[in-house]
Every structure is written in C-alpha cells, then in structure tokens.
Amino acid sequence: MKFENDFLFGAASASYQVEGAWDQDGKGPTNWDEFTKIPGKTFEGTNGDIAVDHYNRYKEDVRLMAEMGLESYRFSISWARIFPNGTGEVNQKGIDFYNNLIDECLKYGIVPFVTLYHWDLPLSLEKKGAWLNKDTVDAYVDYAVLCFKEFGDRVKNFITFNETVVFAALGYLAGAHPPGIENDAKKYFQVTHNVFYAHARALIEYKKLNQYGEIGLSHVFSPAFGIDDSEANTFAAMHANQYQFHWFFDPILRGHYPEYVVKQLEEKGLAPDWTTEELALIEQAAPLNDFMGLNYYQPQRVEKIEEAVEKRENTLENSTGAPGNPSFDNVYRTVLMEDKRYTKWNWEISPEAFVDGLEMIKENYGQIKLYITENGLGDEDPIIEGAVCDIPRINFINDHLVAVKEAIDRGVHIKGYYAWSAIDLLSWLNGYKKQYGFIYVDHKNGLERKKKASFHWFKEVIATRGENL
C-alpha cells in the first residue's frame, strides 16, 4: 500500500530547541531562558541561547528540508519574539521572522504546520504564576489571535498547545521543567484545566475569522497497558488511561472531563478551580477541533502497587520518560520490562503498541482526523568515516510508519506523519547528546549541517509514498 497523496510526510521542531538568538531583534526572555541557567537543571548546563541557530540559518535549513522532499514542516512560534513581555507591545521583527520562515517554506511547496505554544513562556508571565494565573489565558488568546491575523493567510494548520501533560507534570509534579515545583497535584490539575480553557477560547476565536484552515492541539500519546492480564494490573491500566489519556483527550474531543477522575479529584480536594462558564466553553469548542495531533514515542507498562512506594531519584536522563516511578496517587507504577526493547534513554520501542493505541483512539473518539505530530528516536548517532550512520533511526521510523499504515488499514483516520525532528536540536534536559534529526549539526565545527543516512532514506520514502516500507 502506498500512502495517499494527501497524506503529509513531515518533520518537526520547536522554537526553543532550534532557534537560538535568544535576545536577538527584540525577543523577550522566557521561562526556559531562565530555567536552563540554574545550575544542575540540564545536561552539562546546555541551553538554547544559540541552539542550532535556526533563527539565522532558516534558509539553509528549509532548503535542506526541500531537498529531502519534505511536504510539511512543523515548527513553533516563540511567543516572546512576538510579545516580548507576553502581552502589550508587539515586536515587529518577531513577526517578520515568522513571515520569512513561512514564505521560505511556501517557496518550496512545504506546508507550514504551526504550533503556537511549545513550552517557552514569556518570563514576565512565568513570574506572575504562568498557567496557574488565568491572566495568562487572556494573554495567550490575544497572542493566538495576533498569529492567526498575521500568518493565517498562509498558515492553514495551527496547533494551539504541545503536550500539556509534559509541561504540567514536569513543571508541578517532577520539578524537572519550569517552574520546578515538585509533588503539587493541585497545581498540576489546575494548569491542565487552564490550558484546555485557553485552547477552547483560541478555537472559538479562530473560527470567527473564517480563515478556512485547520486547528487542533497535540497531546503526548502513551497508552497504558498492564504488565500482565491479572485483575490488579488490568485495573492499573484502566486507572492510568483515565488519568493520562482520558483526562487530556476527553475535554478536547468530548467537551467534558472524565467522571472517574473528576469524582476522585473532588474527594481529594484536587479538582481545579473551574467555573461553569469555562466548562461551557470547553464543551462549545469540542466540535470545532479539526484534528488531533499525537506525539507518540512509547507506551506505558503499568503495575498496581499495594502501598506507597518511594519515588525513584530523578536524574536528567530518566526524568523525561523512562519508566520506574509511581503515579502521583500511588495507585500504580510504570515498569521497565525485560522482554521489551528500549532506547539508550530507556524509552520503550514499540510500534505494536502504537497500532493498538491508535485503535484505542478510534474506539473512543471515532473518526477525528489525526496527525502524528511527533515520533522519532533519540540516540547518540554513530559517525563512521565522517558519515552519520543513523541506521537505528531508519529502523525506528520505518517500523512506526508501517504501524501507521496498519492503523490506516484498520480504519483509523490518519492524515500525516511528522518525524521528530527535522534537524538535530536541543533536547530539553539532555542537551545535544540526544539526537533526533535527519540533518546533523556539527557543534565542533561552526554548526555545520550534514545529511545523515536517514535523510537519504526518508527522501526515498517520500518520493515513493512509502511503497517499499
């Protein structure tokens, strides 16, 4: 089977991870500009001050993407380039940059797929409580509307938020992302609700503008499976999916939160502070989602725990995705299983669970259009006689594209696949050591770009529409 002609083959990035130019041309500081400077927060103190200098080299990068035959480039806008203080005065040079980047994509027929929020929050808003403060929601809606007006004539695909669970959980439960708060479940749930409310409002504003494009958001998709079929672990999987899957997908696609979770949060005093107006808006916005973006890296294998277990010590390497921790409510823990395959960072490699998970989406949410907005392998790529031989990445993407095909055959409505990432970039906590790109960036040699083996392979996949996978 070939992928249909309207299936988009793309690759992704995010502003903080590629742009650099952290204070160039009037950009304001962000939460990440500050957080990465705190000693011990990131691998070897790496930060995005320069990143891979995409801000200044976007022409070269887009040209390489075009050479690869990329049909779409997913990138994010840095809010603080547009509104240096998060709200108020607009920085025209920031708008110019994204206009140039969009136009450069279009010059080659590359569809720009734009994320409005990929975690870099203007510092002034961070200081006022970030997503705990409902004023941030108002500021976000203003920012989103400005982006629709400035870019919406040419950008026809908008993602409102990237991976709410990650910035909320790492920010308020694990303390590994800004603002670095640990074990505050009340705040964690509040942040998720405020973000979903902001998403709903942005959707309603977008539709008023009649731009005839698509809008949705991207969630991490890590379906949970019990480590065996026992009653206890089947329950653990159900519970994990209620909290990690339904809590995130139901308000967006069904317009209301899952009762199972709401009831427990109310009993524990952890329910967000939400108003009936906010809940009504979330309900009103649900049918306006044109698609759902899924970022799939791995499933979760879960085991019920009988009594509270100690949290494993978080290291930079394991705090973003390696199994081993109890859930916040000590009902289950994620487990590293001997019979599974893992990356060097202990992320499970499972295209099989991807297919099962995609079926789960269909069963729960029907025919909503899906884009796989991220999927890829973080690795330390081998360099052999000067060539970047990222064969494990080729195998990884190959197997996951086959999984996508399989899911399409089973009736799941998937219209695009974006590899993470287009080009090597800054891994939030793991620096430049953990690579994901088709394009290698030589940090020892003036950030020179080189094509990896996967670059040539993906080019062939696109040209043949996946016929030989």
Residues 6 or more apart whose CB falls under 8 angstroms from that of 363 comprise none
Q: Which is nearer to ligand BGP, 101 or 265 (CB)?
A: 101
Task: State which of residues 190, 427, 435, 454 lies at the interface with ligand BGP (CB under 6 A).
Answer: 427
d(CA 42, CA 157): 32
- Tell me if 166 contacts ligand BGP by CB under 6 A: yes
Provide, rounded to whole angstroms, the least separation between the CB of residue 137 and ligand BGP: 21
At 366, which amino acid appears?
G
- Tell me if 19 contacts ligand BGP by CB under 6 A: no
Phi, psi of 76 (to 5 degrees): -115, 155
Task: State which of residues 171, 216, 258, 378 lies at the interface with ligand BGP (CB under 6 A).
Answer: 378
d(CA 154, CA 77): 15
Q: Which is nearer to ligand BGP, 236 or 292 (CB)?
A: 292
Provide, rounded to whole angstroms, the least separation between the CB of residue 426 and ligand BGP: 8
Provide, rounded to whole angstroms, the least separation between the CB of residue 430 and ligand BGP: 6
Q: Which is nearer to ligand BGP, 190 or 218 (CB)?
A: 218
- String of DSSP letters for 137-206: HHHHHHHHHHHHHHHTTT--EEEEEE-HHHHHHHHHTB--STT--BS-HHHHHHHHHHHHHHHHHHHHHH
Residues 6 or more apart whose CB falls under 8 angstroms from that of 304 comprise 232, 233, 235, 236, 331, 332
Provide, rounded to whole angstroms, the least separation between the CB of residue 428 and ligand BGP: 5
Q: Which is nearer to ligand BGP, 231 or 313 (CB)?
A: 313
Token pair of 318 as six digits:
């394991």
Task: State which of residues 19, 126, 163, 379 lies at the interface with ligand BGP (CB under 6 A).
Answer: 163
Q: Which is nearer to ligand BGP, 216 or 255 (CB)?
A: 216
Q: Measuring CA to CA, which residue among 211, 206, 11 is closest to residue 110?
A: 11
Q: Measuring CA to CA, which residue among 424, 430, 421 is closest to residue 449?
A: 424
Provide, rounded to whole angstroms, the least separation between the CB of residue 103 and ligand BGP: 25
d(CA 319, CA 331): 19
Give the binding range for ligand BGP (CB under 6 A) out of 137-145, 170-178, 382-390, 424-432. 424-432
Q: Which is nearer to ligand BGP, 214 or 374 (CB)?
A: 374
Residues 6 or more apart whose CB falls under 8 angstroms from that of 8 comprise 71, 72, 111, 113, 371, 415, 416, 417, 418
Task: State which of residues 126, 150, 374, 379 lies at the interface with ligand BGP (CB under 6 A).
Answer: 374
d(CA 265, CA 192): 13
- Tell me if 31 contacts ligand BGP by CB under 6 A: no
Q: Which residues pair with 218 in a beta bridge?
A: 162, 293
Q: Which is nearer to ligand BGP, 320 or 350 (CB)?
A: 320
Are the C-beta atoms of 397 and 419 separated by less than 8 Å? yes
Give the binding range for ligand BGP (CB under 6 A) out of 30-38, 269-277, 362-370, 428-436. 428-436
The SS3 of residue 374 is strand
Q: What is the biggest distance separating any 2 CA atoms in the chain, rounded to whole angstroms?
A: 63
Residue of 71, 163, 303, 374 with catalytic role: 374
Provide, rounded to whole angstroms, the least separation between the CB of residue 318 and ligand BGP: 11
User: Is residue 89 flagged as an active site residue?
Assistant: no
- Binding mask 432-461 toward ligand BGP (x if CB under 6 A, else -) reads --x---------------------------
Residues that bind ligand BGP (CB under 6 A): 14, 17, 162-163, 166, 295, 320, 374, 378, 420, 427-428, 430, 434
The residues annotated as belonging to the active site are 374
